[in-house]
Structure 1
Amino acid sequence: MNLNLSIPCKAFPKPNELEEGFVDEPLVPLSGDFVVKPFYYQMGIEGALDECYVRETVKEKLLEAQAYLPEGLKFAVMDGYRPLAVQEYLWNKERRKLQRIYGSCTEELLDEMTSKYVSKPSYDINNPSVHNTGGAVDLTLITDNGYYLDMGTQFDDFSTSAWTDEFEDTVLFPEVRNNRRILYNAMTQAGFTNLPTEWWHFDYGDKFWAYYTGKPQLYKGLLVL
């Protein structure tokens, strides 16, 4: 398959426009089939897991996507299912940072700004943040000898440089553009959708995936592992 297809520009999803149609499916670990580097556990965030878990079908789709990669490349997974404690930590950290920057803005505006970068934690299993469903996965490309490909930014970069199609309209950094294309096209060919503001973030069965595909959301939130 052609993994050098250009990355299309897409709008940020509006999950409130979704229909519901849930399925029950277990979480499964990714170690053994993928390189697993649990980013938030390695950061020492309380409640973070030392393994990356996704729904069973999501793992099958990841294996399919990895099989599309050129010889010598594979996935390194940084995050999958995310406990609510970790989501709350990330939300509060970003919210405090924005509060320091913007000072006396309203609570509503502060929440709105924060939600552009981090999903608000939700205890409503019918309307969860995507990483709380087991359908979202954060990953990058790594060589068989452990070399990480240049993707243009670090994981969890909130600048516009992290937007998936950021390097499509420039002759600069062709290696970054091509690496992002490989990741994007392998994942979308396997049925995932991409969050356009994060080159590393892909979804299957959650509300972002449902928004982009027009299909019913498959997975509810999981309050505990």
Structure 2
Amino acid sequence: MRRVVTMLVCGAVLWAGAPSAAGGAEGPRAPERFVALAEVAPGVLEDIRYAGAHNFVGEPVDGYQEGVCLLTRDAARALARVQRAATARGYTLKVYDCYRPQRAVDRFVAWARDAHDTRMKAEFYPRVAKDRLFAEGYIAERSGHSRGSTVDVTLVRLPVVPARPYLPGEPLVPCYAPRGLRFPDASVDMGTGYDCFDRLAHTLSPHVTPRQRASRLLLRELMADGGFVNLPEEWWHFTYRDEPYPGRVFDFPVARASLRR
């Protein structure tokens, strides 16, 4: 889906690691300009879907060692400004995905080519044949998330009502079903759930209700004021306009240990 990759990049994958003094290979590390979002904007909720089983693959994705949001410092500071503006309007932000390693994107590509694995189809792509995921732009080999300044985000009303955990194997409901039937993740009603491979997820889809459209436009307004640009095909997908690594792709794991202290 386009969220798996928003913009193709021409740079090679950058491995930010080096051999250790003991002669072994140290795991790839993040550049110094990466931070944990929680250190910059602690009020933002984090529901990192690819670190668990509630995603279109149906299991934790390669490279997600922790359910933590990592971003470039520039994007994290910008998101903190958005969070302050959202709070003033009676909302908090919640992120579903932030930095994404290239190995995770590679996993998505391999999954999309496996015609037999359709275990999560009923929720995430009920109206799209799996062999059409590449042709229709839902899956690609590069992702803007791998540059570290793209976030998948929604709004949650204050005060926050805790969402129940996803139970692997529970009955799946289409991502475009009415809010009362979809998986309850405590976010405002945007007309679809997160990662919905469907045209109804387009930010300006004419087929959502006026209230759902207004919620999408509020999110887009808040993010735009903070310097983020929306991907029109996904209401949740935003890239920081002044991203510091526009031509780079990283592959260090999603884990606090990847950060340089």
| Structure 1 and Structure 2 fold alike (TM over 0.5) | yes
The one-character-per-residue Cα deviations of 1:130-163 (angstroms, maximum 9, x if unpaired) are 1111011001111222331001111111100000
Distance 1:14 1:199 in 2: 16
Provide closer, same or farther for how the CA distance between residues 205 and 150 of structure 1 changes in structure 2, counting only shifts above 3 A. same
Question: Residue 68 of structure 1 is aligned with which of 41, 64, 85?
Answer: 85
**Kept after mapping to 1: 8 A contact 2:48/2:97:** yes
Structure 1 position 37 matched with structure 2 position 47: yes
**Does the C-alpha gap of structure 1 residues 223 and 85 become closer, same or farther in structure 2, counting only changes over 3 Å?**
closer
Which residue does the alignment assign to 1:176? 212
Match of residue 123 from structure 2: none
Letter in 1 for 2:135: M
Unaligned residue ranges in structure 2 (runs of 5+): 11-30, 54-58, 119-128, 162-185, 253-257
Q: 1:219 to 1:29 in 2, by over 3 A?
A: farther
Partners of 1:37 and 1:94 in 2: how far apart? 23
Distance in 1 between residues matched to 2:69 and 2:113, nearest whole Å: 25
Paired residue total: 184
1:90-169 pair list within 5 angstroms:
90-97=108-115, 101=129, 112-113=134-135, 116-121=137-142, 129-144=143-158, 145-146=160-161, 147-167=186-206
Shift of 1:191: 1.0
CA distance in 2, matches of 1:37, 1:13: 20
Deviation at 1:112, TM superposition (A): 5.0
Partner Cα separation in structure 2 for residue 16 and residue 73 of structure 1 = 34
Structure 1 outlier segments of 4+, above 6 Å: none
Structure 2 match to 1:59? 76
TM-score, structure 2 length as denominator?
Answer: 0.61
Between structures 1 and 2, the one with greater helix share: 1
| Paired residue type of 1:195 | L
TM-aligned CA deviation for residue 78 of structure 1: 0.6
Q: Matched residues, percent identical?
A: 27
